[in-house]
Amino acid sequence: MKVAGIVLLVALTFLVIYLIFYFNSLNKMIKSMTENIFQLSRSIQDTLADVSKDIDSLKVKLEVSLSNLDSTSVQIKKSFENIDQKVDALESIYKPFVELSEYVYQRVAPPLQTTSRIISGISKGVNVFVDILSRKNRGAQ
């Protein structure tokens, strides 16, 4: 039994030594992981700070662009209002001329058409008369 006790004591000693090395290795691994996590955390913080600066810069540029867009849209609106006024003014000048030309056409066209028909009828009558006379002259010869 003494031997078994000694063997057990030696086995426990080896187990304790193994556990010491294992825990030492585990401790180093945990420290390394902690360091890596800390570096990752710093990297994320730096990235977030850069992103925040970029967002602030972008925000300022966007505000300027929107302000410029707003003033441009106001100018465009004023330009269209000005164009509308000028078109209305031109329409008020042009409309009486259109009405006058329609009035003149309605007054002049019917008599001209009637005169044209009369002249056409007279022309046809003269042609028939000349044709009949020329036939008689040919028949008399």
- Predicted model pTM: 0.42
The CA distance from 28 to 19, in Å, is: 14
Q: Could you tell me the pLDDT band of residue 140, with boundaries at 50, 70 and 90?
A: low
The CA distance from 29 to 23, in Å, is: 10
For residue 98 the two structure tokens come to 């259109």
Q: What are the pLDDT digits (tens) for 98-121?
A: 898 999 989 999 999 999 999 999
Q: What are the pLDDT digits (tens) for 36-75?
A: 999 999 999 999 999 999 898 899 999 989 889 999 999 9
